[in-house]
A = this chain, B = another copy of it.
Amino acid sequence: MTTESLPVLSILGGTGDLGTGLARRWAQAGYRVIIGSRTLEKAQAAVSDLQEVMAERGVADIQVEAMDNDAAAAAGDIVTLTVPFSHQASTLEQVKPALAGKILIDVTVPLVPPKVARVQLPEGGSAGQIAQAILGEEVAVVSAFQNVAAHHLQEGKGIACDVLVCGNKKDARAQVITLVEAAGMRGYHAGMIYNAAAAEALTSVLITINKQYGCHAGIKISGLGEDE
């Protein structure tokens, strides 16, 4: 597989379950992936763990490397942010100079611990809108992946969860939908960045459902007439 024409994908704050889950799936799809963290050491540990898991599964030929967040933001063509809401603004302020002209995939869910099962959308409407406001119009912020259980990303299997993709630029949304598909899911154009509120709020509902039904719930868009 040639990766010359594929964008380099950086994942900031990428050492958690969601970040390494996306890294694993994108790397397996042939992308060069950079895991970023606040320190290089933490990123290196995550990459080592990931390579070990992949080797156990007999997948050796993947390109994943470690950097600190600044270097990762600079090196990535498309940059994904998977930090807790409380670190979203500070991380974006820090790496902002490296993002001009790029796509920033915001995976932030504005959960307010300890009541994470309660919808508590922020001033400004949504984390997606906050990211766009911080980064300005030179960065195409695209909101995605809020409703995907990290548990399912970590598994190698298919995922019964669709991804709502919001952002002000259609071309940027389309590029992210390609990455959603590379990760084994289906993505939908879900409107401008203000519509990120829907997916962000839905995460607390899914947490509520998980608690009651003992599962890792997601959503599927129905009524498309393809399988009904």
Contacts and interface: CB of A to CB of B under 8 A. Distances in A.
Secondary structure at the A interface, as helix, strand, loop or mixed, is mixed
A228 interface: yes
Copies of this subunit? 2
Contacts of A190: 205, 208-209
Interface stretch (A22-30, A34-42, A81-89, A118-126): A118-126
A217 B198 CA distance: 15
A189 B161 contact: no
Given A121-B197, A198-B198, A161 B222 contact: yes
A131 to B, nearest CB: 16
Max count, chain B CB within 10 A of own CB: residue among A126, A199, A201, A208: A201
Nearest to A222: B160
A166 B161 CA distance: 22
A166 B209 CA distance: 11
B223 A149 contact: yes
Contacts of A117: 191, 195
Interface residues of A, number: 44
B215 A205 contact: no
A118 B199 CA distance: 13
Contacts of A100: none
A55 interface: no
Interface string A51-65: 000000000000000
A198 B201 contact: yes
30 contacts: A117-B195, A118-B195, A119-B198, A121-B121, A121-B197, A149-B223, A152-B223, A160-B222, A161-B223, A164-B205, A166-B205, A188-B209, A189-B209, A189-B212, A190-B208, A195-B201, A195-B204, A195-B208, A197-B197, A198-B198, A198-B201, A201-B201, A213-B224, A215-B225, A216-B223, A218-B223, A219-B219, A219-B221, A219-B222, A220-B222
